[in-house]
A and B are shown apart, each in its own frame.
Chain A
């Protein structure tokens, strides 16, 4: 039986798809058979980030409506053997995701994979509810900014009341991923601090802090999950997330302001 992980946030544009792509890639690189599903029907992005846009023939909705078999819609990643992508449809809308249809696809995947990563759309409407419904665990993606944190609070409430586990009196295990973190700006109080978000407001255990990093944009544009940029700070931070998710101890990196060397101090920081 696969473990099902939803990547959700409430607010849009905070890094759900970036996180889903890197998290799934990280699990697959460690040998787990992993599939990542794009639930953002109508606004699909995951295939772009994963660099398989041109290989989409059938999609999630085609499988649900019976127009394609699941094996026809699954796209195997070019670089990593254990990694598969189930793309969303760009032309349908979110009503196409019927409860029974999604449940049946999840069930089929569950028998075959170790991990199912569900990339949720923004919002708290049907798409987001369907994406989280089957989850065993959740990565809550938040920017260090009040509207993002507020929306995450909302989505945690929804997760705690509308998921399948909640309906059965159980709970979904939550993990907090803070993305686009800038230590300098947090120190200047321009951004919320990590402790404020994780301990004061959301009260959800932290699993990773992804620093604001140019490599994220570059990776997205090239269709390579940023975790594969092994030299980049964001890539390394995502690797830490995957390691911590698998119960490996990792110290936190990239969360403190870098001490300037004498060169930086004399000439100012660029």
Chain B
């Protein structure tokens, strides 16, 4: 078999830059203000709430050291091909809730519970969100701005998504996702690990690849510098590395 190329299991993790003004000077000013929080060459996907000249926008964004890799569906999509940028659908993006570096007003941690989408949040200090009920199939709880603590079971078919670390005090049977902004220091802690998927900073692992010794055990999962997920049995300290 020819192994000249290989697709590896890494979810794309990126920030979205949403532009809400067509004033070049305003965009520039807002970007300069927020540049402190953005890493140099940080990959961003562009989005706009109004029609803009993509070429001019790209120039400004690149000038402040960001690295645009694509645009979201919407106002900018039509012009994307001529600048060889990808068009990303918003719904399929796992980090669509993460807009930490957005030019639009940054949404606070205390987003009101949106009952209609079956997504609930409870506020706690320091950007930590605590969810106390059983998470049912189809439910999704997200805290894009910090740690997420789930005090009960995450049933199969549901998902818990944290900007930073995810702590699960019940059984974790659904999708456990941490570090959605690409934060490699995020960890997942789970009292009974039996998930449909774990993902940290976009690096994911499916049940078939999770070491059997940590399944149904209390476990910690973190990301090594080389991009490997490490599963630790909490009681014994046994570490098992999964290379992608």
Interface residues of A (CB under 8 A from B): 124, 150-151, 153-154, 156-158, 160-162, 166-167, 201, 203
Q: Are B115 and A154 in contact (CB under 8 A)?
A: no
Tell yes or no: B60 within 8 A of A by CB: no
Q: Least Cβ distance of B174 to chain A in Å?
A: 10
Interface size on B, residues (CB 8 A): 16
Do A156 and B115 contact each other (CB < 8 Å), given the known contacts A150-B157, A201-B155? no
Q: Least Cβ distance of B131 to chain A in Å?
A: 12
Q: Are B115 and A157 in contact (CB under 8 A)?
A: no
Q: Are B156 and A161 in contact (CB under 8 A)?
A: no
CA distance A162 to B114 in the complex (A): 10
22 chain-A/chain-B pairs, Cβ below 8 angstroms: A124-B138, A150-B137, A150-B156, A150-B157, A151-B137, A153-B137, A153-B155, A153-B157, A154-B136, A154-B137, A154-B138, A154-B157, A157-B136, A157-B139, A157-B158, A161-B116, A161-B118, A162-B116, A167-B115, A201-B155, A203-B134, A203-B153
Residues of B within 8 A of A157 (CB): 118, 135-139, 158
Identity of the chain B residue whose Cβ is nearest the Cβ of A166 in the assembled complex: B115
Residues of A within 8 A of B136 (CB): 153-154, 156-158, 160
Tell yes or no: B120 within 8 A of A by CB: yes
CA distance A150 to B153 in the complex (A): 14
7 further interface pairs, Cβ-Cβ under 8 Å (given A157-B158, A161-B116)? A150-B137, A154-B157, A157-B118, A157-B135, A158-B138, A160-B136, A161-B115
CA distance A226 to B200 in the complex (A): 53
Q: Which secondary structure dominates where chain B touches chain A?
A: loop
Tell yes or no: B133 within 8 A of A by CB: yes
Q: Are B157 and A160 in contact (CB under 8 A)?
A: no
Identity of the chain A residue whose Cβ is nearest the Cβ of B118 in the assembled complex: A161
Q: Least Cβ distance of A167 to chain B in Å?
A: 6
Residues of A within 8 A of B139 (CB): 157, 161
Q: A-B contact count, CB below 8 Å?
A: 40
Interface residues of B (CB under 8 A from A): 115-116, 118, 120, 133-139, 153, 155-158
Residues of B within 8 A of A203 (CB): 134, 153
CA distance A229 to B233 in the complex (A): 55
Instruction: Rank and list the top 4 A-B pairs by shortest CB-CB distance, nearest first.
Output: A157-B136, A154-B137, A153-B137, A161-B118
Residues of B within 8 A of A166 (CB): 115
Q: Least Cβ distance of A151 to chain B in Å?
A: 8
Q: Are A162 and B115 in contact (CB under 8 A)?
A: yes
CA distance A19 to B116 in the complex (A): 29
CA distance A264 to B115 in the complex (A): 56
Q: Least Cβ distance of A128 to chain B in Å?
A: 13
Q: Are B120 and A161 in contact (CB under 8 A)?
A: yes
CA distance A203 to B158 in the complex (A): 15
CA distance A167 to B116 in the complex (A): 9
Identity of the chain B residue whose Cβ is nearest the Cβ of A203 in the assembled complex: B134
Residues of B within 8 A of A160 (CB): 133, 136
Residues of A within 8 A of B156 (CB): 150, 153
CA distance A186 to B48 in the complex (A): 57
CA distance A203 to B197 in the complex (A): 23
Residues of B within 8 A of A161 (CB): 115-116, 118, 120, 139
Residues of A within 8 A of B115 (CB): 161-162, 166-167
CA distance A156 to B139 in the complex (A): 10
Residues of A within 8 A of B157 (CB): 150, 153-154
CA distance A201 to B173 in the complex (A): 10
Identity of the chain A residue whose Cβ is nearest the Cβ of B117 in the assembled complex: A161
CA distance A151 to B155 in the complex (A): 11
Q: Least Cβ distance of A186 to chain B in Å?
A: 20
Q: Least Cβ distance of B196 to chain A in Å?
A: 12
CA distance A167 to B136 in the complex (A): 18
